[in-house]
Chain A
Amino acid sequence: MKRKLALYIMFTMAVWGGISVFIGKQTVHNFDNLLRNKLLLIVGAFAIILGLGSLIFHHTQKIKRNARYWQYSYITLGALIITSFIGLFGGVRGEGGLPTFFGGTVLGTYQGNIYTFQDKNELKLFKADPSRYAREDIALMPLPQGVSEDLSRYEKSVLLREIQLRNTSLQLQNLEIPLMISPVSGEVVPFEDDFGVSIQNIYEGILVPCGSTMFAMLAFYMCSAAYRAFRMRNLHAGVLLVSAFIVMLGQIPLITAFIPGLHDFRQWILDVPNLASKRGIMIGVGLGMAATSFKIIFGIERAWLGGGEE
């Protein structure tokens, strides 16, 4: 009966979801919007408790049992607690109560020539580490108008280079800048919120590098896997190998400069045979998804109910 209750609830919701798409009444549309964008969102948000609970349970059990590499579980749990604490109390954009930026106190002021933009006299300190750009005297340059402050370090350096090249758009001004000792580097830097431990810093300093490096590392493993898998054993493997190589080589400017027509051939592969195969697969996937959805709705596929009692 307990399993049937869940099946009935699921079926009722499916019937509603199915018919609401085809009913044009505004009232139905409004209720469907409320259900989709609010009520089910609230229900779904609680699923994270399940995920977190499983993660915490798994790692605490590892520590309890002194399982292999149990020491690392402390890192996961610690990182989870610290990140959640900073995020929840510091806010996504530092709007929370927790101080997430720690600046130094003003030591004094610096008076000197500083480059500013002709069209923007408002002084905005450049956030990147000034010591790196000190030799170019552009450390304290403001970002151009309309450019977001949330640029990555790489983008900012590219931007600075651009500015440096277009020297005419800059003007030199004699300004007074408040200074402080950086709590991180110990150097005298322009006064600003120098050291941040906001969730955005954690995102840019830990999540992005770890995630992109892990994906980047797959390139090495894919190449070694390809070496084993792509041996030209038959015509089909040969076609796969040639297609992959043309697509890869056709993207490298140095190669396409020496082999005329390679880039166009690569584009043809992507636009014609690749499109045909992807289209065929996509139609098959669409039919499969619809069939699986019907199986779930009509209770033929019940794996989601899990094991356990009736």
Chain B
Amino acid sequence: MNIAMDFWTWTAALLTLAILSFLWKDNPTYRAAEHLYIGVANGYSVTLIWYNVVVPNMIDPIAGAYRQVAREGMNWSVLNPFQEANFFVIIPMMVGALYITRFIPKISWMVRIPIGLTLGYYTAISIPASFEASILRQLEASIVTRAHMTMGFRPALWVFLVLIGTLSTLIYFFFSTEHRGILKPISNFGILVVMIGFGASFGLTVMARISLAIGRFVFLFKDWLGLVY
């Protein structure tokens, strides 16, 4: 046994045990670790946003523009948003600051302005992106071509099966018409395909979690307690 002696390994080990203790039952150590995690995660986000967004996009341009004005006097170029150092960034800062109005009941409606700005833009640009990634690419990949036929019997069969499976899945989720006649066996096949897919997803998720659990136990027994090398 070769127990680790540094502070952060001990912290990580005790927090791991505190969280794992929830498997027994809800208890004060778990609650303490959980609350600590929430506080630290938010504090970490504050740091990241400060250094990755606020400093390079707000403070640096304004400070640069201020230095430029001090050096060369006032000119229009410091208002040019395309220039590295500019005062223009104050405008989106003012718009962003409207988020704070959420806490002032009389003018809380103004919080909708920054939300509307970002929501409108990102919603619009997501439409072609989702068409491209989720629909066109998937359709393109499902099309059976002559090239697939030259790959041999089995691969060609699997390509056909993927196409049939995709179509039956889509038909199963098509609720605009009742699943009768020819649609019934197709949708029945679709639900089977969907169930296999869900089972596979479940299996992969469990294995990913198990892998994480193994990682935590390796940390405890190896890095912390030094029981295994």
The chain A residue with its CB closest to the CB of B214 is A216
Q: Say whether A201 faces chain B, with CB atoms less than 8 Å apart.
A: yes
Q: Say whether A210 faces chain B, with CB atoms less than 8 Å apart.
A: yes
Whether the Cβ atoms of A222 and B196 lie closer than 8 Å is no
Q: Say whether B97 faces chain A, with CB atoms less than 8 Å apart.
A: yes
Contact (A80, B226) CB under 8 Å given A13-B124, A44-B96, A283-B138: no
B38-97: which residues lie under 8 A (CB-CB) from chain A?
38-51, 53-54, 57-58, 81-82, 89, 91-93, 95-97
B124-147: which residues lie under 8 A (CB-CB) from chain A?
124-128, 130-131, 133-135, 138-139, 141-142
Q: Name the interface size band of chain B.
A: 35 or more
Whether the Cβ atoms of B45 and A48 lie closer than 8 Å is yes
Q: Say whether A203 faces chain B, with CB atoms less than 8 Å apart.
A: yes
- B171-199 CB mask vs A (1 if < 8 Å, else 0) is 01100000000000000001111111111
Whether the Cβ atoms of B46 and A251 lie closer than 8 Å is no
What is the bound-complex CA distance between A186 and B17, given in angstroms?
25
Whether the Cβ atoms of A206 and B109 lie closer than 8 Å is no
Contact (A282, B116) CB under 8 Å given A21-B125, A215-B212: no
Whether the Cβ atoms of A290 and B127 lie closer than 8 Å is yes
A56-86: which residues lie under 8 A (CB-CB) from chain B?
57, 69, 72-73, 75-84, 86
Identify which of A77, A87, A280 contacts B44 (C-beta below 8 A). A87
The chain B residue with its CB closest to the CB of A134 is B2
* B contact residues around A23 at 8 Å (CB): none
What is the bound-complex CA distance between A153 and B5, given in angstroms?
13
B99-138: which residues lie under 8 A (CB-CB) from chain A?
99-100, 102-103, 108-109, 111-128, 130-131, 133-135, 138
Whether the Cβ atoms of B44 and A199 lie closer than 8 Å is yes
> In terms of DSSP, what is the predominant structure of the interface of chain B?
helix
* B contact residues around A132 at 8 Å (CB): 2, 4-5, 226
Chain A residue total in the interface (Cβ 8 A): 139
The chain B residue with its CB closest to the CB of A280 is B169
Name the distance in Å between A286's Cβ and chain B's nearest Cβ.
Answer: 3
Name the distance in Å between B88's Cβ and chain A's nearest Cβ.
Answer: 9
* B contact residues around A237 at 8 Å (CB): 195
Which of A41, A82, A268, A285 has the most CB atoms of chain B within a 10 A radius of its CB? A41
Name the distance in Å between A259's Cβ and chain B's nearest Cβ.
Answer: 15
> In terms of DSSP, what is the predominant structure of the interface of chain A?
helix
Q: Say whether B156 faces chain A, with CB atoms less than 8 Å apart.
A: no
* A contact residues around B190 at 8 Å (CB): 280
Whether the Cβ atoms of B37 and A206 lie closer than 8 Å is yes
Q: Say whether A193 faces chain B, with CB atoms less than 8 Å apart.
A: no
Whether the Cβ atoms of A83 and B222 lie closer than 8 Å is no
Identify which of B40, B166, B198 contacts A240 (C-beta below 8 A). B198
Identify which of A215, A239, A272, A284 contacts B173 (C-beta below 8 A). A284
Contact (A185, B6) CB under 8 Å given A78-B39, A279-B138: yes
The chain A residue with its CB closest to the CB of B126 is A293
Name the distance in Å between A59's Cβ and chain B's nearest Cβ.
Answer: 9
Whether the Cβ atoms of A276 and B162 lie closer than 8 Å is yes
Name the distance in Å between B132's Cβ and chain A's nearest Cβ.
Answer: 9
Whether the Cβ atoms of A157 and B96 lie closer than 8 Å is no
What is the bound-complex CA distance between A271 and B169, given in angstroms?
16
What is the bound-complex CA distance between A52 and B47, given in angstroms?
13
Whether the Cβ atoms of A10 and B44 lie closer than 8 Å is no
Name the distance in Å between A258's Cβ and chain B's nearest Cβ.
Answer: 18
- A241-265 CB mask vs B (1 if < 8 Å, else 0) is 1111111100100000000000000
What is the bound-complex CA distance between A187 and B3, given in angstroms?
14
List 7 other contacts, CB 8 Å, given A216-B213, A239-B199.
A40-B92, A83-B42, A157-B222, A210-B36, A246-B203, A293-B124, A309-B109
A-B residue pairs in contact (CB < 8 Å), sample of 25: A9-B117, A36-B121, A40-B92, A41-B57, A43-B118, A44-B114, A45-B54, A46-B100, A47-B114, A51-B42, A53-B102, A83-B39, A84-B47, A87-B48, A154-B223, A206-B36, A211-B37, A213-B216, A243-B200, A248-B207, A273-B165, A274-B196, A275-B165, A279-B166, A280-B167
B residues engaging A (CB < 8 A)? 2, 4-9, 11-13, 15-16, 19-20, 22-23, 31-51, 53-54, 57-58, 81-82, 89, 91-93, 95-100, 102-103, 108-109, 111-128, 130-131, 133-135, 138-139, 141-142, 158, 161-170, 172-173, 190-207, 209-210, 212-213, 215-216, 218-219, 222-223, 226, 229
Question: Which 10 interchain pairs have the tightest Cβ spacing?
Answer: A83-B43, A276-B165, A286-B134, A280-B169, A87-B47, A79-B39, A277-B197, A243-B199, A247-B203, A17-B124
